[in-house]
Amino acid sequence: MPQKNNKQDNSRPIGIFDSGIGGLTVANAINKVLPHETLVYFGDTAHLPYGDKSPDSIKYYALRISQFLLKQNCKMIVIACNTASSLAYETVKEFVGKAVPVINVIDPVVQHVIRNKKIKHVGVIGTKGTIKSDIYHKKIKAASGRIEVSSLATPLLAPMIEEGFFDNKISRSIISSYLDSRKLSKIDSIILACTHYPLIRKEVEEYYKGSVNIIDTAGVVADHVRETLEKLKLSAVKKNKKPLHHFYVSDFTPSFEQSTKYFFSSKIHLEKMDFWS
């Protein structure tokens, strides 16, 4: 089990991982609120999407990636994937121990929903894995009996986004077919419970036309990361020079490279890291 490094170095990077490009929405949000922090991102593109994988497989992937991020001397690990957060967070946290803090993308959003007194009935859309775990419903109801929760699995969305199909006629048709579900008919707010989904936020907003509050999940998680670093006194010292972020993938995909450039400009350092075999 990893041991905590007694010599605290606040310039160490923040480690972030997801099954593919979805976690880049979280990485981008973190970069905006913490522009002086260095990021190390791992996209497990060889195994995407995580939503249809077994819990044991996801736990294995998450452990191997966390081990890799620790070797990159990361001071924090952010599980930027709802499926991995729901199924592997406790496993990763136990493995890491006291070495570094581990952040998932579910708990900060749940707390945000509970604090918002205007929310009475929240909808949750996500992968099969996330919705099957029922984790949002369980956590929200455990903390607040006043909020109704309606969940819907939307398994086509993450693969669609990974292939670059968003903001077009095809994506609008698929999104509308899901949001038309009776399960979501009475909601006043919606959680986009997959880190891919902020990339289709515009289309979700167009569908609801302001009638439903769309929760900025990536922004909520980024604020939580900032607060945690400040609380643990791990924040990096501000520098004039921009930090050099590193992006790793388990398999090269054109969509990942394009998305990385979209969020972090054309000057990126992308490497393939295959430690599965």
Catalogue the active-site residues. Answer: 81, 194
Cα 5 versus chain centre, distance: 26
Q: Are 77 and 15 in contact, with CB atoms under 8 Å apart?
A: yes
Rounded to whole angstroms, the Cα distance separating 52 from 124 reads: 17
Where is 120: in which H helix or E strand? Answer: none
Q: Where are the beta strands (DSSP E) in 139-221?
A: 148-153, 189-193, 213-215
CA distances 205 to 169, 197, 236, Å, are 15, 12, 35
Rounded to whole angstroms, the Cα distance separating 216 from 235 reads: 23
> What residue type is 32 in one-letter code?
K
Give strand pairing partners of 77: 15, 102
